[in-house]
Amino acid sequence: MEYLFNILIVIDIYIILAVSLNLIAGLTGLLSVGHAAFYGVGAYVAAVLSLRLGTPFPVNLLCAIIISSMLGVLVGWIGVRLRDDLFVIATFAFQLVAFSLPYNCLSLLGGPMGLAGIPQPTLLGLKITSHLDFFILASVFCILNLWVYWVVVRSPYGRVLRAIREDELLAESAGKNLAAYKRSVFALGAGLAASAGVIFAHYVSFIDPTSFSVLESIFIISIVIIGGAGSLWGPVVGAVVLVTLPELLRFIGIPSSIAANVRQIIYGASLVACMLWRPQGVIGKFGFRKEERRG
């Protein structure tokens, strides 16, 4: 049962990450390859606060969301000035900077060795220790993130975000402050991603920079694309498929020495197949292959 709960917890964490990126890339059309940086910020803030200051879980969560959201505003500000390919490159640079920071901050962030001994959280007077406890905690956050996405999509705010995705010039001509909307959606997405990082840090009790590399960002993008960018249930389907599919390798006798490489092949092949034959994803909403508009 512990193995099953571990898989379910990982799925919940990736659903949170995919939903948060779906707000930015799926709903607004701002493709970012630096989303794992916000995930890492949440994890490191929670780890540092709990290890150095002994702060409780709610304080760690709140601080992580605030700090990550502030970084999201910064990236959104960059998005106002750069479009399409240049913006993707800028988010990639942001990811590299965020990835290298823990490596070079030995005293506070542990450097390449990471931070170990992160305590298990206490919430509402209850100590969260078992896999079942963490599964319930992760599932609650997962449901809250899906609810936030559902509310945003059906609000006037969400309609403006969709307008930005479809035609920025048209949205701007309608009198909308695109800069404010881009900054705000990045802040929202970054804050949600940070919550996943907090759960991850307290669950595994150890973090290091390799958990938040650009490969992790690409994996989150793959979940969104395969599940269906811009849809509510796309991140759920994408996370279930991409997390559980490689686990099948455990039951078909593939040696552990090559299992990691096979997983990467599966991820890559799934993404390529989806982009070629179903760019709108399994659930479907809209694809990242933009069609040419006719005047």
* Domain edges within the chain: 2-211
DSSP the chain: -HHHHHHHHHHHHHHHHHHHHIIIIIIT----S-HHHHHHHHHHHHHHIIIII---HHHHHHHHHHHHHHHHHHHHHHHHH--HHHHHHHHHHHHHHHHHHHHT-HHHH-GGG-EE-PPPPEETTEE--SHHHHHHHHHHHHHHHHHHHHHHHTSHHHHHHHHHHH-HHHHHHTT--HHHHHHHHHHHHHHHHHHHHHHHHHHHSEE-GGGGSHHHHHHHHHHHHHH-TT-SSHHHHHHHHHHHHHHGGGGTT--HHHHHHHHHHHHHHHHHHHHHH-TTTTT-S--SSPPPPP-
Please report the pLDDT score of residue 73 as a whole number.
Answer: 93
Given a cut of 50, the residues of the chain with pLDDT beneath it are 287-295
Please report the pLDDT score of residue 157 as a whole number.
Answer: 92
What average pLDDT does the structure give for the chain?
86
The tens digit of pLDDT for each residue in 142-174 reads: 999 999 999 999 999 999 999 888 888 888 788
pTM: 0.89
